[in-house]
Chain A
Amino acid sequence: MTDQTDNTDKTENITIPEKTLFAALGAMFLASSLRSRSTLGTLVLGAAGAGMGYLALKGKQPLAPALKIEQTDTPGEVLIRDAVTINKPVEGLYAIWRNLPNLPHLMSHLQSVEVLDEKRSKWTAKAPLGQAVSWEAELTADEPGRRIAWQSLPGSTIENSGEVKFQPAPGQRGTQITVNMTYKPPLGATGAVLARLFGEEPAQQLRDDLMRFKREQELGFAPTTNGQTSGRPDAGQKTKTGEESPKAEQDQRKAGNA
């Protein structure tokens, strides 16, 4: 942990590997700039090189904030948070989250959660480029009907922690669920930016996960237009790409039983 009292603009928000990466990229751009045959090329590559060098020296990474990747005070740590209100009582919703092996059903980036003992569990998540990562975590808090929190154990591939809070929404509108998660992607905030470029958007995933959960709870199925008619060549066919398809079928079965 760094000193969190000095949280001014001077604070560096990137990790040593990120700095090294920026410095290397900066040097590479500068070298190509000198080799470039066009004046414009020299100028553009030179500017890119100088920019990277500046970032390395300054220890700041501007892309992450621009892409709304939120960072904590710990360099390289990314924060994801969101909230949803579900028109159902607290107790049932808490019970669903407390059943850890159920979590991959709620959070689309998880592949499995295996309970090892009362506190510890083994988590496997999808990583960019079809990879998977595993780590062990332990429950750090369990307040029935109010809050569940967990933290990866030391030595995990991806250090992370999270908490889900439950509270009754005012005016009998059901339950407010708030999720906060932090993780340290390889290469820090830059890694989070790269992950985003590969189509992994944890903040958006969390939002989608919460909305899907809400719809499952309130409706019992997910609304869909997958397979509807149109004036396009694929009209009436279910798309097999994406994860909606098997899910939608599963939802249909559920709604059928409802």
Chain B
Amino acid sequence: MKAIVWQGVNKVGVETVPDPTLLLPTDAIVKITSTAICGSDLHLLDGFIPSMEKGDILGHEFMGEVVEVGKAVKKLKVGDRVVVPFNISCGVCDYCVRGMYSACDNSNPNHRMAEALYGATSGGALFGYSHMYGGYAGGQAQYVRVPFADVGPHKIETGLKDEQVLFLTDIFPTGWQAAENCNIQPGRDVVAVFGAGPVGQFAIRSAYMLGAAHVIAIDRVSERLKMAQEAGAQTINYEQEDVLQALREATGGRGPDHVIDAVGMEAHGHGPGAALDKLQQTLKLSFDRITALRWAIQSCAKGGTVSLPGVYGGLVDKLPMGAAFAKGLTFKMGQTHTHKHIYPLLSRIEAGEIDPSFVITHRATLDQAPDLYKTFRDKHDGCIKVVLNPWA
């Protein structure tokens, strides 16, 4: 089959690899009908997530049709159409039982690698996202092996198109969880979203669905800001305005009640702090550039929440901890507990509250994907979200 393969830092390519097979009786094989490139794949492309190996198959946002099931699989059968959460969870450990699927104790066979790197117990595994996160082959391919097939995949039984449900696998629940983590008081709270990329777009819409009185989006790319405005958000272009001052003005001097950092470890930005971050990251003295996180903490109103769906990978320094402490902020973060959000969000799609396909700007084949990784990274050609058809 064809698959997108990590070939080294800044190198991905299309290769022909063996078809996946069942490795355990709890596995299923899914023929992929739609798959997407995620912003967090760019951290892999750029080499900022450790423990990638040449030959790893990328991709963690995908859906398709079940073509084979292991003997122990009970809920799925051949022919079922499914969306598959990007995180892999066992469904029986204490964390899964409590709905904290991304914190699964049991799904990562390389737990020791993550523990050695982080000095702490790790979360569960992810598809196509480094050996530290389990080393499972990803879904930017024609077929994928899905472990714990009775736990992750969710059947799509109505006539919704792939493009309407594909993002239930990651960016929609991720934006939703980011907004949910803010504990928004309906009709009262103002939410600022740093980064109007795909997750930011879903965070904006989720914040409104959860009752936010007002949402402000911060980015520098005009297409993204335009898409945010279409959802009803006020926008700030941080290259044209002083972000902190603009947010103060927009909120009568209070600052947004809650702030979502939908950017993560590769924040752009300007000024001496951003320059120093970039220098340190280039010299491998630090993994993360935290301009967006710094702005989030500095702008957030007293007693507010800083919610982090953006991925951080290593150690962070020059964090304005004094400001966070003085204002009594709450931090909420982590990988998305995708499994628990799929059904409620699918219901909202079915009810016509949202059509997630609004975010798609590019549709392509697997062969075109390596170029599109770069188009997406460089935000050229108005690129916000790429969906791939592995069979085109």
- State the A residues within 8 Å of B (CB): 85, 87, 173-174, 204, 207-208, 211, 214-215, 218-219, 221-232, 235-236, 248, 251-252, 255-256, 258
Say yes or no for B206: interface residue by CB 8 A criterion. no
A223 and B25 in contact (CB under 8 A), knowing A229-B20, A232-B54?
no
Chain B residues within an 8 Å CB radius of A227: 21, 23
Q: How many residue pairs between the two chains, A and B, have CB atoms under 8 Å in the bound complex?
A: 104
Chain A residues within an 8 Å CB radius of B56: 230-231
Chain B residues within an 8 Å CB radius of A222: 109
Do B93 and A218 touch across chains, with their CB atoms under 8 A apart?
yes
Q: Which residue of B lies closest to A238 (CB)?
A: B23
In whole angstroms, what is the CA distance A207 to B5 when docked?
A: 32
Shortest distance between the CB of A178 and any CB in chain B (Å): 16
- State the B residues within 8 Å of A (CB): 1, 3, 5-7, 15, 17-21, 23-26, 53-57, 70-72, 90, 92-94, 97, 105-109, 111-112, 115, 125, 134-137, 145, 147-148
Shortest distance between the CB of A191 and any CB in chain B (Å): 23
Do B71 and A231 touch across chains, with their CB atoms under 8 A apart?
no
Pick 24 A–B contacts, CB within 8 A, sort by A: A87-B93, A87-B97, A204-B112, A207-B115, A208-B112, A214-B105, A215-B106, A219-B106, A221-B25, A221-B26, A223-B134, A223-B148, A226-B23, A228-B20, A228-B23, A229-B3, A229-B17, A230-B17, A230-B56, A231-B5, A251-B24, A255-B24, A255-B72, A258-B72
Do A211 and B55 touch across chains, with their CB atoms under 8 A apart?
no
Contact for B55 among A223, A230, A251, CB less than 8 A: A230
Main secondary structure of the interface of A (DSSP, over half): loop
Contact for B25 among A174, A226, A255, CB less than 8 A: A255
A231 and B54 in contact (CB under 8 A), knowing A207-B112, A225-B23, A236-B21?
yes
Chain A residues within an 8 Å CB radius of B93: 87, 218
Chain B residues within an 8 Å CB radius of A174: 94
Do A224 and B24 touch across chains, with their CB atoms under 8 A apart?
yes
Do B55 and A231 touch across chains, with their CB atoms under 8 A apart?
yes
Not counting A225-B137, A229-B20, a sample of 9 additional A-B residue pairs whose C-beta atoms are within 8 angstroms of each other reads A207-B115, A223-B106, A223-B108, A223-B125, A223-B147, A229-B137, A235-B17, A235-B18, A256-B72
In whole angstroms, what is the CA distance A223 to B105 when docked?
A: 11
A224 and B23 in contact (CB under 8 A), knowing A218-B93, A218-B106, A232-B55?
yes
Q: Which residue of A lies closest to B91 (CB)?
A: A219
Main secondary structure of the interface of B (DSSP, over half): loop
Do B94 and A255 touch across chains, with their CB atoms under 8 A apart?
no
In whole angstroms, what is the CA distance A255 to B27 when docked?
A: 11
Do A223 and B112 touch across chains, with their CB atoms under 8 A apart?
no
Closest 9 CB pairs of A and B: A232-B55, A231-B55, A231-B5, A236-B18, A256-B25, A230-B55, A229-B18, A231-B15, A255-B25
Do A223 and B107 touch across chains, with their CB atoms under 8 A apart?
yes
Chain B residues within an 8 Å CB radius of A207: 112, 115
In whole angstroms, what is the CA distance A76 to B72 when docked?
A: 49
In whole angstroms, what is the CA distance A214 to B25 when docked?
A: 19
In whole angstroms, what is the CA distance A37 to B14 when docked?
A: 55
Shortest distance between the CB of B355 and any CB in chain A (Å): 34
Shortest distance between the CB of B92 and any CB in chain A (Å): 5
Q: Which residue of A lies closest to B145 (CB)?
A: A228
Chain B residues within an 8 Å CB radius of A258: 25, 72
Shortest distance between the CB of A226 and any CB in chain B (Å): 7
Do B111 and A211 touch across chains, with their CB atoms under 8 A apart?
yes
In whole angstroms, what is the CA distance A226 to B107 when docked?
A: 14
Do B71 and A229 touch across chains, with their CB atoms under 8 A apart?
no
Shortest distance between the CB of B133 and any CB in chain A (Å): 11
In whole angstroms, what is the CA distance A68 to B150 when docked?
A: 40
Do A252 and B24 touch across chains, with their CB atoms under 8 A apart?
yes
Chain A residues within an 8 Å CB radius of B135: 225
Which of A211, A222, A258 gathers the greatest number of chain B CB atoms within 10 Å?
A: A211
